[in-house]
């Protein structure tokens, strides 16, 4: 079960997922435009190195942050 599924009421989960996908897909053309502008300004190699470094940084922040620590497995409820 994902964190989104645990935090969202069941009757609103479809709306939350669709809103999340809409925002993510809307970011694709924006990211392509920004990446093109940065690529023209500094070149592709620094763009890829910087993007890779940013991905590693975000992964480290998420892995050491409170969201990762809250992902402890929970025992099923209602069983005997």
Distance between CA atoms of 47 and 39, rounded to whole angstroms? 6
Distance between CA atoms of 3 and 67, rounded to whole angstroms? 8
> Does the residue 2 lie in any domain?
no
- Residue (of 59, 69, 76, 67) closest to 7 by Cα position: 67
Which residue's structure tokens are 């975000």?
58
> Does the residue 31 lie in any domain?
yes
**Overall number of domains in the chain:** 1
Give the domain extent around 59: 15-69
> Does the residue 6 lie in any domain?
no
> Does the residue 56 lie in any domain?
yes
> Does the residue 76 lie in any domain?
no
> Does the residue 79 lie in any domain?
no
CB of 2 closer than 8 Å to CB of 16: no
> Does the residue 36 lie in any domain?
yes
Lowest model confidence (mean pLDDT) among 4-8, 56-60, 69-73: 69-73
Q: What is the pLDDT of residues 17-34, one digit of tens each?
A: 999 999 999 999 999 999
Distance between CA atoms of 64 and 80, rounded to whole angstroms? 35
pTM for the structure as a whole: 0.61
């Amino acid at each position: 079960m994902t964190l989104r599924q645990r935090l969202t009421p069941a009757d609103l989960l479809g709306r939350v997922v669709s809103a999340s996908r809409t925002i993510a897909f809307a970011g694709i053309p924006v990211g392509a435009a920004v990446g093109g502008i940065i690529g023209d300004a500094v070149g592709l190699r620094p763009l890829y190195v910087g993007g890779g470094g940013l991905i590693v940084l975000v992964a480290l922040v998420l892995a050491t942050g409170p969201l990762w620590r809250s992902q402890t497995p929970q025992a099923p409820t209602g069983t005997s």
